[in-house]
Amino acid sequence: MTSTTRVGFIGLGSQGAPMAHRIAEESFPLTLWARRSVSTDTFADTAATVAATPAELGAASDIVCLCVVADADVEDVLLRPDGVLTGMAPGGVVVHSTIHPDTCRRVADEAAKREIAVVDAPVSGGGQAAAERRLLVMAGGQEADVARCRPVFDTFADPVIHLGPLGSGQLAKLLNNFVFTAQVGLALDTFALADGLGMDRTAVAQVLAHGTGGSRAAAVLAASGFNTDGLRRALPLLRKDVGLLLDVADTARAPRPRTLADLTTHTLATLGRSPAP
């Protein structure tokens, strides 16, 4: 694959837009589609073109990246009458969205009828990481399909990890967000305990940053000045991902990680009530 590979991108939010900008900066021919035209305004000074429908985007693309919120959004833009699959020639569809592995397989079954491959490739790290080419991509799918997509992934990500067959990327992302949610709860309780003991939570955060008790969640809280507004805005996504992971575990009859499940329940309840002190 070279930079002549045509890329389509749908989902130009706080994380998707920086990803798409990196693709454009690396000179891949880029086509965009968005429900709201304002979402494409920041690409006016790039060579990207804007499609009128997802099907038009599909017809103009060899690889399509989706960075939308929910399973229903993924299925809508791919499978509706003027969806991506209607216009796309045999090739690859990349799903960056975090969705249920069963949704990936259902979409893949529909895509296979048109000889189109699907790679599930959720990401972690946020918009700033995308802009700095240090997102984590967790990919699932056939080795050849993932390899075909890697040059696109490499424009905004490092590392890109191939986890296994289709759905593996989604499972890895759900596990990651499950553990992160639990760590948020631990960090909130730890800083609240430090307050109760009369300690300076900023100093405690510095200890955690260099000690064995540190975590990414504690670092995120400290970097925000212990402001939980951002985490509370992310609450619907955290709740969705925790629910998906537990559903997958129950369906597979895997033993629930009871400690982590209890911690995530506590965290979601805490964030849902009010800002932490």
Q: Catalytic residue positions? A: 173
CA 48 to chain centre: 22
Q: CA of 186: how far to CAs of 172, 179, 214, in Å?
A: 21, 11, 10
Secondary structure (H, E, C), 21-77: HHHHHCCCCEEEECCCHHHHHHHCCCCCEECCCHHHHHHCCCEEEECCCCHHHHHHH
d(CA 41, CA 95): 23
Q: Is the CB of residue 16 less than 8 Å from the CB of residue 96? A: yes
CA distance 35 to 44: 17
Please tell me the total number of residues recorded for the chain in this structure.
277
Helix ranges, the chain (H): 16-25, 54-59, 71-79, 84-87, 101-112, 127-131, 143-153, 168-196, 201-210, 216-223, 229-233, 235-251, 258-273
Contact 251, 169 (CB under 8 A): no
In whole angstroms, what is the distance from residue 158 CA to residue 98 CA? 18
